[in-house]
Chains A and B, each alone.
Chain A
Amino acid sequence: MNFRAIWAIYKFEMARTKRTIMQSIVSPVISTCLYFVVFGSAIGSRIETVEGVNYGAFIVPGLIMLSLLTQSVTNASFGIYFPKFIGTIYEVLSAPISYMEIVLGYVGAAATKSLMIGVIILFTASFIVPLQISHPLIMALFMVLTAISFALLGFIIGIWADNFEKLQLVPLLVITPLVFLGGSFYSINMLPPVWQTISYFNPVVYLISGFRWSFYEISDVAPLLSLGAVAIFLTVCMSVIAWMFKTGYRLRD
């Protein structure tokens, strides 16, 4: 293992985060606070509780997942797309490092960044709504696994994309709708039966449900099923990356 190379890439990516602290950390926190105001206070004042949990508190896990997912995908996809775009990727490709090490560096940094955002949102929320975390370890596990899986997905998108438009396409057209329809702001039980069935095809439902269970012990699907869904998603992403690297897809023609 070339640990020095992994560390060099990781440090480089984290330095980028530091340079762009406003757009990296501050803006997702501000937008999350806006969600709290709109969904938590304005709408929440009319809903009050969902399955016995205060509505403001109910949406916290969903909000964290929303940020975690979109941030992981954007950070990782941008992290690998940008060197490709400006050409500095030549150095990484000519360095004595394996594909595995490249992924660890880039995905590790992207996941770290989105986890930081997740924790900041959790911290901010604790001042606004009555939070309760029943299973902190499982909560942490869900956060870490989700951040890594979606950073891997972002990495795939970053390698696949050959222009900035494609880079924005997936987060905008796939991730955001899936999260909004994945029960971030409501329980799946509140939907008409047809939509409930459709929702079960949405992988994000499993993530949010499991994550919410670690807070309030309420869930739309069994927590173990949620964990399984994350594991499957992680495996699929890793397989795709392994295939990309084996064939040199869009990196080494």
Chain B
Amino acid sequence: MSSIISIKNVEKTYSGGFKALDPVNLEIRQGEILALLGPNGAGKTTLISIICGIVQKSGGKIRVGGFDTEEDYRQTRSMIGLVPQELHTDSFETVWNTVSFSRGLFGKPRNDDHIEKVLRDLSLWEKRNREIMTLSGGMKRRVMIAKALAHEPQVLFLDEPSAGVDVELRKDMWNLVETLRSTGVTIILTTHYIEEAEAIADRIAVIRRGKLLLVEDKGDLMSKLGRKTLLIHLSKSVKSLPETLAKHGLELSEDGMTLTYEYETAGKRTGITSLLSDLSAAGLKFRDIETRQSSLEDIFVGLVSEAA
């Protein structure tokens, strides 16, 4: 797949001297959903703001759809829609006017049908003549998304889209993201909720203290770094483990009822077969066996603390 956004050696030091981005290199593929994961203050918003033209970069090059974000800013910016993290809205404007304003601002001719479609998709159509200040927080978030979609962007940035959003809106939002992706829109979302990335992203990029730690297909990442845990529930409590089981690195629970065995899914030999035969040789009987897959969250926490 060809890349729609190409970020080369982009760095940013704010005027106060704070270094928000170390040289970052990232290729974002056409039509993918990329999740940019990272703790607060990692540089996610800075990176997005630079691509969108809100913040000036200190160095490096960014191309969107083959155009340079500085020299050909008109082309690059008209391809991009941005839903910022904070709810920045004009309180006294109506929903319809503010969304139409966004379309005009991006230089697109008036198209009431498109605006209507966007508002209907976001369940805002009934509220189109309401002043924004009369809307709830969730509705305001929808307005922000509608504004970003008003000019039919090819790339959509969602900065922390689930911050302060209820279940229904989150569901609507993911449906919308799926629909947009099916029409070829590339979506980049930042989040520090890992389940969110796990649920919808194709690829995951992890950023921490302005450094890009990794960019990987979600599936690869999960299987490469994912660890599985095997829990063996014994039928009778044991005080200590027999010597013959020492090589397996088992952990015995305090009540002596459960053995915990960790193994890597990517490894060729998981060691489960020999463990089980050693267990029966030692005369231990078990009641139940369960395995647990580590979630992206565990992987992420592992990564971030490793780099610390």
Q: Are A252 and B54 touching (Cβ within 8 A)?
A: yes
One digit per residue, 1 when the CB lies within 8 angstroms of any chain A CB and 0 when it does not, for chain B 56-96 equals 10000000000000000111111010101010111111000
Q: Report if A96-B14 is in contact (Cβ < 8 Å); known contacts: A19-B92, A88-B88, A90-B88.
A: no
Taking A8-B105, A90-B82 as known contacts, 14 extra A-B pairs with beta carbons closer than 8 A to each other, sorted by chain A number, are A4-B108, A5-B104, A7-B104, A8-B104, A11-B104, A15-B93, A19-B92, A86-B91, A87-B84, A90-B84, A90-B88, A94-B52, A96-B74, A96-B107
Q: How far is the CB of A18 from chain B (nearest CB, A)?
A: 11
What is the bound-complex CA distance between A11 and B53, given in angstroms? 24
Inter-chain contact B92/A9, CB cutoff 8 Å: no
A95 to chain B, nearest CB (A): 5
Shortest CB–CB separation between residue A160 and chain B, in angstroms? 15
Query: Complex: how many Å from CA A91 to CA B106?
Result: 9
Flag whether B223 is at the interface (Cβ < 8 A).
no
Partner of B82, one of A5, A94, A248, A253: A94
- Within B9-54, the residues touching A (CB, 8 Å) are 14-15, 52-54
- Which DSSP category, helix, strand, loop or mixed, fits chain A's interface? helix
- Cα A19 to Cα B92 with chains together (Å): 8
**Does residue A200 face the partner (Cβ distance < 8 Å to B)?**
no
Q: A100 at interface (Cβ–Cβ under 8 A)? A: no
Contact A87 B88 (CB under 8 A): yes
Q: Please list the residues of chain B having a beta carbon within 8 angstroms of any beta carbon in chain A.
A: 14-15, 52-56, 73-78, 80, 82, 84, 86, 88-93, 97, 101-109, 147
Given that A88-B88, A96-B73 are contacting pairs, would A4 and B56 also be in contact in the complex, using a CB cutoff of 8 Å?
no
Could you say which residues of chain B place their CB within 8 Å of the CB of A92? 105
A22 to B119, CA, bound (A): 32
Q: Please tell me if the beta carbons of B74 and A12 are within 8 angstroms of each other in the complex.
A: no
Pairwise interchain contact B90-A86, C-beta atoms closer than 8 A: yes
Interface 1/0 per residue, A5-48 and B, CB below 8 Å: 10111011001100100000000000000000000000000000
Minimal Cβ-Cβ distance residue in A for B97? A15
> Is the beta-carbon distance between A94 and B77 smaller than 8 angstroms?
yes
- What's the nearest-Cβ distance from chain A to residue B200, in Å? 24
Between-chain CB contacts (< 8 Å), 17 pairs = A4-B105, A8-B101, A12-B101, A19-B92, A86-B90, A87-B84, A87-B88, A91-B88, A91-B105, A93-B54, A94-B52, A94-B77, A96-B106, A97-B105, A252-B53, A253-B55, A253-B56
Q: Verify A94–B108 contact, CB threshold 8 A.
A: no
Give the residue name and chain of the A residue nearest to B78 (CB): A96
Q: Which residues of A contact B147 (CB under 8 A)?
A: 91
For B102, the chain A residues whose CB sits under 8 A away are: 91
Contact A248 B78 (CB under 8 A): no
The 6 closest A-B pairs by CB, nearest first: A8-B104, A87-B88, A96-B77, A96-B74, A94-B52, A96-B78
Cα distance, A54 to B76, chains bound together (Å):
61
Within 8 A of B (CB), among A174-220: none
Give Cα A88 to B102, complex, Å.
11
